[in-house]
Structure formats: C-alpha cells, structure tokens
Amino acid sequence: MNSVAIATQRLFKSFKDSDGSELPILKGVDLEVKVGEVVAVVGASGAGKSTLLHLLGGLDRPSAGEVYLAGQPLSGLAEQQLAEARNQRIGFVFQFHHLLREFSARENIMMPLLIGDVESSQAEARAEALLRAVGMERRAGHKPPQLSGGERQRVAVARALANNPLVLLADEPSGNLDNQTAEGLHDLFFQLRDEREFAVVLVTHNLEFAGRADRVLRLHDGTLHAITDSLARHETIP
C-alpha cells in the first residue's frame, strides 16, 4: 500500500471581504492523497479550488487546520523551511505557464534545480532528461514566446518535476488549450504518473481529464464531496 503524500485535516481558510468582514472559503477540508494517486478536484468558479491548492503547496497559510506533507505538518515549518519544501517536494503547474520568457525551455527547467543548489552541469543533464520525458527535447533552446501553448505547458510540467517532487499540484493546466492539445497534455500527466512516484492533485473543468483520475472530489460550500465514478464520467461537472 502506498504511503500518504499529502493530507489535510479540518482545513479552514477565510479572506477579508472589502468591508473588512471575514469571508469563509474553505470550511473544514479533509483530504488524503497517496503516492501514485491522481485526485481531481472540480467545482464552480469561486468555490475555492485555487485557494485549496495554494494551501496544499504552502503558498499560503490556512486560517485553521493543518496540511501534512509526507506526514509532516506544514504549520511547524518556518518560512525558510517552507520555501525549501516548496522547492524540493512540491511541483506546481498553473493554467498559464509562468515560465520566464527571457530563458530557454532548458534554462527554465534548470531554475528550480539551481535554486536547490544542484550543480549546473548536473542541472542541465536533468533538464535534458525531463525535456525528453515530456517530448520537448527538440525545443530545448526555444524561449517561451517561440513555443505553442501546449509546448509551454509541457515545459511547465517538466519544470514542476525538476526536483522530483512528492506532490504535483495542477490548477487547470489544460484550461487554456484547444481540445486536441489538452488531450495530449492529459496523456502526459498519466504517463508521468505511471513512470514516477508522486501524488497529483488536479483542478480541472475538463470532464475527460477529471474522469481519468483515480478519484474525483467536488469542492462545494467549503468542503470536499466524493463524486462516484459514473457521475464523474457521464454527468456534467461541476
């Protein structure tokens, strides 16, 4: 049985409204994702899906409750340790690639490795291997403006995996792609999941993508609800 990669316990998050009142978004989220598992999170716009991913990835702190990364509570980490955990154990892919436009695909993938103090020739070798893994070896020297949307997302996936993270968090990674390109990216996610050892939490509006996940959860009214397989595959999401 695979170990738990990331978990939450009674996770709450509120934001201050414009009038200063508290706006509760997450109201007790419990989640457990194992290594090798792909969990899709669906839900209406504004439901708090991105907020949840930010908390899982240590980009923001919860109002109450806990996030456990490989069993370790994130609240116990100081900012510096949290930054290290984000660099070493977590990979992010967003709807928009967030690649640095002045740098080549290879250099973008090397960046998190260099930040993690990997020696540059080693970082380059690892970037090359990742470019092959995502089918982008022939675009290594291209900068983001010279790549198509699908190609940029592939590079973004490679960058997210640079430090061999335990958890890959993806926020509508194919939300900006046409159907055919999206399908190729979805295939890539599952291919990488099968080849490597990490957990995936995936936010998507794409029915086909969510339907391929091991589990589909709906974020509604601040908590997660399991969606049965048949619902995930045949009915409208969210």
Ligand X SMILES: Nc1ncnc2c1ncn2[C@@H]1O[C@H](COP(=O)(O)OP(=O)(O)O)[C@@H](O)[C@H]1O
Which residues of this chain interact with ligand X, rule CB under 6 A? 15, 25, 43, 45-51
Give the nearer residue to Mg ion in terms of CB position, either 54 or 106: 54
CA distances 154 to 147, 160, 179, Å, are 10, 10, 15
**Among ligand X, Mg ion, none, what does residue 33 contact (CB within 5–8 Å per kind)?**
none
Q: Is residue 158 a contact partner of residue 127, using CB atoms and an 8 Å limit? A: yes
Give the nearer residue to ligand X in terms of CB position, either 94 or 189: 94
**Closest to 87 in 3D by CA, of 44, 63, 121, 123:** 123
CA distances 229 to 54, 96, 104, 237, Å, are 26, 29, 41, 12
**Closest to 188 in 3D by CA, of 229, 149, 135, 126:** 135
Contact letters for Mg ion, residues 25-64 (x by CB under 5 A): ------------------------xx--------------
H-run or E-run covering 47 = none
Give the nearer residue to ligand X in terms of CB position, either 25 or 160: 25
**Among ligand X, Mg ion, none, what does residue 174 contact (CB within 5–8 Å per kind)?**
none
Residue 90 DSSP symbol: E
Give the tokens for residue 169: 């968090």
Neighbours of 58 (CB within 10 A): 21
Give Cα 4 to chain centroid, integer Å.
16
Give the nearer residue to ligand X in terms of CB position, either 20 or 46: 46
**Among ligand X, Mg ion, none, what does residue 51 contact (CB within 5–8 Å per kind)?**
ligand X
Give the nearer residue to ligand X in terms of CB position, either 112 or 173: 173
Give the nearer residue to ligand X in terms of CB position, either 131 or 210: 210
Residue 20 DSSP symbol: S
Least Cβ distance, residue 229 to ligand X (angstroms): 23
Least Cβ distance, residue 60 to ligand X (angstroms): 8
Look at the block and give the residue holding tokens 């999170």: 41
Least Cβ distance, residue 49 to Mg ion (angstroms): 5
**Among Mg ion, ligand X, none, what does residue 187 contact (CB within 5–8 Å per kind)?**
none
**Closest to 15 in 3D by CA, of 58, 70, 62, 50:** 62
H-run or E-run covering 69 = strand 64-69
Least Cβ distance, residue 8 to Mg ion (angstroms): 17
204 is a contact residue toward Mg ion (CB under 5 A): no
Least Cβ distance, residue 16 to ligand X (angstroms): 7
**90-93 and 167-171 strand pairing:** parallel
Least Cβ distance, residue 150 to Mg ion (angstroms): 20
**Interface contacts to Mg ion, rule CB under 5 A:** 49-50
